[in-house]
Amino acid sequence: MMSSPSLRSGLAGGVFALCVVALWAHARTYLPFMVDDAFISLRYSWRLLHGQGLTWTDGERVEGYSNLLWVLLVAAGGLVQSNLVWVARTLTFAATVATFGLLLVSGLRRAGLAAVWFFAVAALSLALCGPVAAWSIGGMEQPLLVALLLAAVVASEPLLAAEVTPHSAAVLSMSLPLGLLCLLRPDGVLFTVAAVLALLCGRGPRVPTFRLIFRLVLPPAVCTLGQLAFRWFYYGDFWPNTYYAKGSFSWVRVEQGWGYIHRSLKQLRALWVGGGFALCLATFSQELRRRTWFAFFALILWLLYLVRIGGDIFPQRRHLLVVFALLAFLLLAALQWLWGRRHFVRFSALLLGPVLLAWLGAAQKRDVNRILALSDTGHWSGQPVGQFLHKVFEKQRPLLAVDAAGALPYFYQLPCLDMLGLNDRYIARHPPSDLGTGFNGHELGDGRYVLSRKPDLIAFWTPIGGERARYRSGREMVEQPTFNQLYQAITFETDDTSHTRTTLWLRRFDGRLGVQTNGDQIDVPGYLLRGTDDVVRLDEHGRLYVSLKPNHPAVVSGLRLPPGRFAVQVSADGPTIVQVLAGGRTLVLDDKDAFTLEKGAATPGDVDVQMMATSATHAFGFVLTAQSDR
């Protein structure tokens, strides 16, 4: 017959596996959930793997991430698996499973089979929690943040319960996760502060306590100072670029932060009630207080921090994962404390768990955040668009200016410019006067600066772009009188099975993709023709083309030609008729398809070339060659 310890271990393993399966089943319902900002970190990891350093684009070094440890872990995973999306999803799911394991460790510190039941309640409360399930495959660092925090919380239990000075291994088991939290996110230092407050309250402000605190904060301090030194020497600043882009304080942010927390109370009230109940019980029990001091201070400091920064813009409450994990731990501690009482109070612990789980599941059926998470898929269009642009323009390496700085730049893999400033030093350090009052993370911009960088392609708003500018940089750019002279909106269609269409603004002159002057030749790509079917495609030979409609003129306007004689050579798969207009007059083409532009016949930028075909024809472009006088 199986002994009692063996029975408990086997049962605990089975229940743990059941909780993991429940999490996996719930998480699968959120696929392909992964927000655009997750790809920003992946781009840093990808460039690091390919020898381009911890950078987002070529040129200046800017720390546009706020999760150094995560970027490094994903890069390390990339040494084994080249698909970094898969690596990121695997790491987030593994971190959530590790959180379940830490709850099991804490639960099994109490004797009896009931400890397994209470662990199941705590772990299932997280597996059933929509935000936990969504972000367990969301590809960002929050599940790892939760796992490291819970590792420190679980390690704090014996330190807070014992009166004697703990041995070094016990201290290290708590201080090491705290140090890693500081490397994972700049705000991870809050949890070290919470640990110090917990030790002072749990062990009292005595000399041995201060010695213990010194030993505890040493690894976090080393990690924090080490990252500051690295940041200064590598990026030339003590603060990450994200601090300048998002760090402003305003009462609007405070109001947004409170609303962010308050909106979670309805659908996830069961978790809040369970954790709040545990804190109420702790006021009557010194044993429970000691066990939960760290979780209590971590919870309070994190909630205050969320109010300060205005919460978050992503669906399914990313920054509240910390709160939900701490509430699950508090619920576990409360149930175990109740089990240690007598009679009815003892057995009420067995009933309280199923009631809370049923409440949690029922309340989330109509959660609007789930709907938002499932519908937040537009950035995945950045994959076919980015891969297509990389394929057709890799040799030219054009500079792509974007509002959506995640999926599109990640799959594009070529030079980019972040028009919202998260990954741009100048924009982040030149904020508008009303920073902190608008859409968090989307307020920065400088149209004149972006135009001065002469981007070859501009994608307004989403990865598929558009003709309309939505954010500050774009709005200021299109207001410039020269914008429509320099840029032209062009729609490309990808050559994969999705046939995704993207409308980008392409620089017509003085760039890598527009009109090119090579000695005596002026190359004009076909995608600059207006009046076609307005979609640029790729043929089987890898050439970009536009389709000319029968007997319908297509024109490239505003060419800058000096006086002289020019031959016209059209690249198309069918016969075409060419006309040249200058200064309102049609120039005559001779039998060699050449024309003469007399001095004074047109001002610079006043020459139009018009093409027409009698049947459906693919046009790839044309070349104007200056003819020397003989």
b/e for 537-570, b at 16 or more Cβ within 10 A?
Answer: bbeeeebbbbbbbeeebbbbbbbebeeebbbbeb
Would you state the pLDDT for residue 592?
Answer: 83
Rounded Cα–Cα distance for residues 16 and 116 (Å) = 9
From the list 16, 158, 115, 8, the residue with the least C-alpha distance to 336 is 115
Comparing 1 with 41, the larger pLDDT belongs to 41
Least confident of 34-48, 308-322, 508-522, 577-591: 577-591
Q: Which of 455, 479, 514 is the last residue of a domain?
A: 514
pLDDT category, 35, cuts 50, 70, 90? very high
Lookup: tokens for 275: 């954790």
Q: Note whether residue 437 is domain-resident.
A: yes
Same domain, 100 and 196: yes
Displacement of CA 458 from its chain's centroid (Å): 20
Helix (H) or strand (E) holding 458: strand 457-459
Return the biggest CA–CA distance within the chain.
113
Q: Note whether residue 38 is domain-resident.
A: no
Lookup: tokens for 39: 């790809």
pLDDT at 118 over 50: yes
Q: Helix 4-28 vs helix 114-127: angle between axes, to the nearest 10 degrees?
A: 10
Q: Note whether residue 43 is domain-resident.
A: no
Same domain, 151 and 272: yes
* For residues 14-34, average pLDDT: 96
Same domain, 477 and 594: no
Would you state the pLDDT for residue 599?
Answer: 81
Q: Is residue 619 left, alpha or beta, with left meaning phi > 0 and alpha meaning psi from -120 to 50?
A: beta
pLDDT category, 383, cuts 50, 70, 90? very high
* For residues 603-617, average pLDDT: 85
| Token pair 């350093």: residue | 53
| Token pair 């790809």: residue | 39
pLDDT category, 3, cuts 50, 70, 90? low
Half-sphere exposure of 357 (CA within 13 A, CB side): 20
pLDDT at 52 over 70: yes
| β partners of residue 621 | 525, 571
- The strand pair at 400-402 and 457-459 is best described as parallel
Q: Note whether residue 39 is domain-resident.
A: no
Same domain, 496 and 599: no
Rounded Cα–Cα distance for residues 231 and 62 (Å) = 10
| β partners of residue 521 | 518, 625
Instruction: Tell me how far apart the terminal alpha carbons of the chain are, to the nearest angstrom.
Output: 108
What sign has the CA pseudo-torsion 463, 467, 471, 472? positive
Same domain, 346 and 396: no
Q: Note whether residue 37 is domain-resident.
A: no
| DSSP per residue, 477-526 | HHTSTTHHHHEEEEEEE-SSTT--EEEEEEE-SSSSSS-EEETTEEEEEG
Q: How far is CA 372 from CA 90, 93, 252, 253, 535, in A?
A: 23, 21, 23, 22, 31
pLDDT at 2 over 80: no
Peptide linkage before 32 cis (omega within 30 of 0): yes
Q: Which amino acid is at 418?
A: D
Least confident of 25-39, 236-250, 336-350, 399-413: 336-350
Same domain, 317 and 466: no
pLDDT at 346 over 80: no
pLDDT in tens, 206-218: 998 999 999 999 9
Same domain, 489 and 455: yes
Contact 426, 448 (CB under 8 A): no
Q: Which amino acid is at 67?
A: N
Would you state the pLDDT for residue 1?
Answer: 40
The per-residue pLDDT of the chain, averaged, comes to: 92
Contact 289, 372 (CB under 8 A): no
Would you state the pLDDT for residue 606?
Answer: 82
Same domain, 8 and 110: yes
Q: Which of 466, 490, 514 is the last residue of a domain?
A: 514
Half-sphere exposure of 611 (CA within 13 A, CB side): 33
Least confident of 270-279, 298-307, 487-496, 587-596: 587-596
* For residues 604-618, average pLDDT: 86
Q: How far is CA 560 from CA 486, 582, 606, in A?
A: 12, 11, 7
Q: Note whether residue 52 is domain-resident.
A: no
Q: How far is CA 9 from CA 22, 122, 123, 328, 353, in A?
A: 20, 18, 16, 22, 21
Instruction: List, in order, residues 6 or more apart from 280 with CB less than 8 Å away.
Output: none
Q: Which of 473, 492, 514 is the last residue of a domain?
A: 514
From the list 446, 458, 371, the residue with the least C-alpha distance to 416 is 458
Q: Which amino acid is at 115?
A: A
pLDDT in tens, 150-167: 999 999 998 887 777 788
Rounded Cα–Cα distance for residues 117 and 336 (Å) = 10
The rounded percent of the chain whose pLDDT value lies above 70 is 98
Is 537 strand, coil or helix? strand
Lookup: tokens for 170: 């016990």
Domain of residue 607 covers 520-630
pLDDT at 20 over 50: yes
Q: Helix 286-309 vs helix 269-282: angle between axes, to the nearest 10 degrees?
A: 130
Same domain, 345 and 384: no
Contact 541, 570 (CB under 8 A): no
Q: Note whether residue 196 is domain-resident.
A: yes
Q: Note whether residue 54 is domain-resident.
A: no
* For residues 330-342, average pLDDT: 89
Same domain, 545 and 615: yes
Same domain, 182 and 316: yes
Task: Provide the CATH number for the domain around residue 553.
Answer: 2.60.120.260
pLDDT at 562 over 50: yes
Is 543 strand, coil or helix? coil
pLDDT at 114 over 90: no
Would you state the pLDDT for residue 605?
Answer: 67
Contact 142, 321 (CB under 8 A): yes
* For residues 546-571, average pLDDT: 90
Contact 174, 192 (CB under 8 A): no
Same domain, 107 and 251: yes
pLDDT category, 604, cuts 50, 70, 90? low
Q: Which amino acid is at 139?
A: G
pLDDT category, 456, cuts 50, 70, 90? very high
Lookup: tokens for 32: 């392909």
- Its pTM stands at 0.94
Number of independent structural domains in the chain: 3
Rounded Cα–Cα distance for residues 258 and 360 (Å) = 22
Rounded Cα–Cα distance for residues 34 and 410 (Å) = 13
pLDDT at 188 over 50: yes
| DSSP per residue, 384-443 | HHHHHHHHHHTTT---EEESS-SHHHHHH-S-EEETTSTT-HHHHTS--TTTTSSSTT--
Displacement of CA 4 from its chain's centroid (Å): 48
